[in-house]
Amino acid sequence: MTIVRLHPNPSLLAVSAAGHFLEQAKAAIQTKGRFNVALSGGSTPRATYELLASQPYATSLDWGKVHVFWGDERCVPPDHPDSNYRMAWEILLNRVPIPPENIHRMQGEAEPELAAKEYEQLMRNHFTQGDDYQYVKFFDLILLGLGEDGHIASLFPGSPALGEKERWVMAVEHNQPPPPLVNRLTLTLPMLNAATQVTFLVAGAGKAHILKQVWSSTVDGQPVLPAQLVQPASGNLLWLVEEAAIRA
C-alpha cells in the first residue's frame, strides 16, 4: 500500500518522520525483539535525525534493540565530510544510547567491491541463518531521499545496478569527471523492496519537477526512474512530502 502525507514545512515533515520512525521501531521491537532500520544519507533526513536525538524521542525507544544500517554510502573514510555514516553519527547515533555493535557501518574507506561483499556478508549474518534464504522482510524500515534525477540511495538512472536481482549490496559508479569512478556503495532494489516499510522523505521546491515525473510519467507504461522501481513486494510505501515539493 502506498500512502502520501503532505506537510506545510520541513520542520513538520521532520516531526512526522520522527514519529513514524518511533512507531515502526516500537512495533518491530514488540513483535520481533529488535528493529532493523536502514538510514538515508543526504540533507533531507538531517532534521529528522536531530529530532530523534532530542527529547522526548531519545528516551522513548529501547535503543539497545535498534540495529542501524545504511541504504548507501560514499566511498570515503567515516570521518570524511561526505560520509553518510559521519552525518548520522554526529547528529543522532552519538547522542542516543545505542550499543556500538548495533551500528552497522558500510566501510567506505575500503576497496569498494570488497566493502560491498563484506557488507552483504554482515547483513546475511545478521538477517539469516546460513545460505538457505529467500527475500524475507529483512528491514523493518528503510528511509530514502529522492535525488533530483530520480535516484534513490546510490541507484542512479541508467545504472546496471538497477537490474541486479541477486546481490544485496553493490559498488557503483557515481557521475564524476572522466574516467568513471566506482565511488558509492548501495543496497540493491531486491533488498529495498523486501522491506516491511519503505519511507521517502522529500522536501523543497527543487524536488517538485522530479517528484511529478516519479508519480506520473512512464515510458510505454513502464517505470523508468529508480525511485519508481521502489515497489515493496509485500511491505508498505510511504511518502512524507513537503507541500513545496508538489507545487507544479
Q: Given the rule CB under 6 A, which of 39-47, 108-116, 120-128, 215-223 is the region that contacts ligand 6PG?
A: 39-47
Tracing cell 530514502 back to the chain, one arrives at 144
Q: Given the rule CB under 6 A, which of 41-49, 99-107, 128-136, 235-243 is the region that contacts ligand 6PG?
A: 41-49
Give the HSE-up count for residue 129: Cα atoms under 13 Å, Cβ half-sphere.
0
Tracing cell 572522466 back to the chain, one arrives at 178
Using CB under 6 A as the binding rule, the residues of this chain from 46 to 105 that contact ligand 6PG are 71-72, 84
Q: Given the rule CB under 6 A, which of 35-43, 55-63, 103-111, 216-224 is the region that contacts ligand 6PG?
A: 35-43
Tell me: does residue 226 bind ligand 6PG (CB under 6 A): no
> With respect to ligand 6PG, which residue has the nearer C-beta, 98 or 245?
245
Grid cell in block for residue 207: 524536488
User: Would you say 131 and 166 are in contact if contact means Cβ atoms under 8 Å apart?
Assistant: no
Query: What is the spatial distance between Cα 91 and Cα 62, in angstroms, rounded to a whole number?
Result: 18
Tell me: does residue 145 bind ligand 6PG (CB under 6 A): yes
> With respect to ligand 6PG, which residue has the nearer C-beta, 43 or 121?
43
Count of chain residues binding ligand 6PG (CB under 6 A): 14
Shortest distance (Å) from residue 132 CB to ligand 6PG: 31
Closest CA to 203 of 3, 1, 12: 12
Q: Could you give the dihedral angle defined by the CA atoms of residues 141, 21, 115 and 189, in that order, rounded to the nearest 10 degrees?
A: 30
> With respect to ligand 6PG, which residue has the nearer C-beta, 18 or 61?
18
Shortest distance (Å) from residue 76 CB to ligand 6PG: 11
Tell me: does residue 44 bind ligand 6PG (CB under 6 A): yes
Query: What is the spatial distance between Cα 55 and Cα 72, in angstroms, rounded to a whole number?
Result: 28
Helix (H) or strand (E) holding 87: helix 84-91
Q: Given the rule CB under 6 A, which of 95-103, 115-123, 147-155, 188-196 is the region that contacts ligand 6PG?
A: 147-155
Helix (H) or strand (E) holding 35: strand 35-39
Grid cell in block for residue 177: 569527471
* Residue whose Cβ sits closest to ligand 6PG: 145
Contacting positions for ligand 6PG (CB under 6 A): 40-44, 71-72, 84, 145-147, 151-153
